[in-house]
Amino acid sequence: MLVTVGIATLGEDPPMLRRVVDAALRAVGRTGGEVLVVVNGGAHVELPGARVIHRAERGVAAARNLILDEALHDTVLFTDDDCLVPPDWCATMAAALTEHTVVSSPVRMIVAGPVTAFFDHLRLFEAQPGNGDRPPLITANNLGVRRDRLPNGLRFATELSSAGEDTYFGLQLADARVHVTYLADATPIRHGLSESITELTHRYLRNARTCPKLWLEYGRGEAAMPDVLAFYRRRTAPDFRMERRFAEVADPRARAAFAVYYTILTNLTLVGYLDALGTLLDHPLITIDQVGLDAEWDRIGAAIDELTVGISADEWANLDIDCRRIGDSVPGQPIQAWVRAALRRNAPAIATDPTGPVADVLAAGAARTATYVADQALVRSAWAELREGHEPVRSDAAERVTRSFGLWLPAARDIAEAQAAIDASVRRRRVLEGATR
């Protein structure tokens, strides 16, 4: 089956883009077809072997739509300009698309240090599964579609030019009852990423700012975060104790780095959401000192580098992970408190709760709360079975379990650790109550 591999790029990293295109050309050689690169934003790039279209305007959504419109073949495979596809990628995706309309497959990182190892462990660039209560969330870094079978007019939203355009594309697919098939056994593509902590922080602020727009301007209630203002205050309080500790990671240095990165990531997701929501409601909910935050992240990043010195890139890529250990008692990380303090100083939420329509918007999202409660029951049962085994449970095995009931692995790990902490607290309280009788 002839395929079109589509890559949208700003052309900002020519050496990496050349590697990406070369990998795509090797893969398309097994099926026949073309590699179509849309360079948007005014840059001029020469890429021998590929068909290149230059457009002056920036906008990844419009560039992807151009790929869909200009592709020579109806089997269109999308990847990003920082992703290396394996040689069998086109053949595997194309074979699946003889039967299915939309497919995705695993994404792993090119691991070179703590940041990329963290993203790899959390599977943060992978498509998220859905179930009856929750639509799947696709990622355009590894996506295959049959253009001739797509619902009429279904395209990427050009108004979401910097983030969220692939999320909205996936939500439209769900509305049209087009199933997204995940090819769990496919060879993963490899996603590149900088080791700079700024990559982590700026990416998640940008992505989180899309959610209120998806909700309030596109009517996607799935993007609403219930009680987000109160949640952010709790998470950044000095005495917050429910941080992820990553007991599944055996190396205490890597475990500490992941715990700190995760504290940054989860809180910045709330910061970006509150900032964008306040703008849309014309009622500021948070004040952000970006210069101050970046300085704090640099200081914290330097502390993590010092903490993890001596771990080689190969060791980062092959960490000892056993998901049975999630919830085991391991020390908290003092640097997590630095993160919370940095946010209280440089991204404080408003002190007084809003009233009226703003309060109503902040309280919305009850459906997500109900879905979370249902997820808790599924995770409790699944993790009880995983912990009964005598062999280590690696991430791939745990992911197969969570995808079987429509839950993303990072979300399932979060729930499992939170439940373990709550169960341990209940046990301690009962022991204390028994001792005082």
Task: Look at residue 351 in the predicted model and tell me its pLDDT.
Answer: 92
Q: For residue 386, how many C-alpha atoms fall within 13 Å in the half-sphere facing its CB?
A: 27
Residue 434 has pLDDT above 80, yes or no: no
Task: Look at residue 339 in the predicted model and tell me its pLDDT.
Answer: 97
Q: Are 364 and 226 in contact (CB under 8 A)?
A: yes
Range of lowest pLDDT (7-21, 54-68, 319-333, 362-376): 362-376
pLDDT tens profile 130-186? 776 677 888 999 999 999 999 998 999 888 766 788 889 999 998 999 999 999 999
Q: How confident is the model at residue 386 (pLDDT cuts 50, 70, 90)?
A: confident
Residue 307 has pLDDT above 80, yes or no: yes
Higher pLDDT residue, 64 or 161?
64
Task: Look at residue 161 in the predicted model and tell me its pLDDT.
Answer: 65
Token reading at 59 = 């906008």
Question: How far lies 14's CA from each of 9, 69, 82, 189, 236, in Å?
Answer: 10, 25, 10, 19, 40
Q: Taken in order 401, 223, 243, 250, is the CA torsion positive or negative?
A: positive
Alpha helices, DSSP H only, in 282-388? 290-307, 313-317, 334-346, 356-363, 366-388
Q: How far is Cα of residue 326 from the mean position of the Cα atoms in its chain?
A: 20
To the nearest 5 percent, what fractions of the chain are helix, strand and coil?
50, 10, 35
Going edge to edge, which strands form the sheet with 33-40?
Answer: 51-55, 33-40, 3-9, 75-80, 142-146, 102-104, 180-182
Domains of the chain (ranges, CATH numbers): 3-191 (3.90.550.10), 197-435 (no CATH)
Q: Are 413 and 379 in contact (CB under 8 A)?
A: no
Q: Taken in order 133, 137, 142, 143, is the CA torsion positive or negative?
A: positive
Q: How confident is the model at residue 79 (pLDDT cuts 50, 70, 90)?
A: very high
Task: Look at residue 424 in the predicted model and tell me its pLDDT.
Answer: 78
Q: Are 183 and 97 in contact (CB under 8 A)?
A: no
CA neighbor of 154 nearest in space, from 170, 142, 140 = 170
Residue 429 has pLDDT above 80, yes or no: no
Q: How far is Cα of residue 174 from the mean position of the Cα atoms in its chain?
A: 19
User: Taking all residues of the chain, what is their mean pLDDT, rounded to a whole number?
Assistant: 92
Whole-number Å distance between alpha carbons of 269 and 120: 18
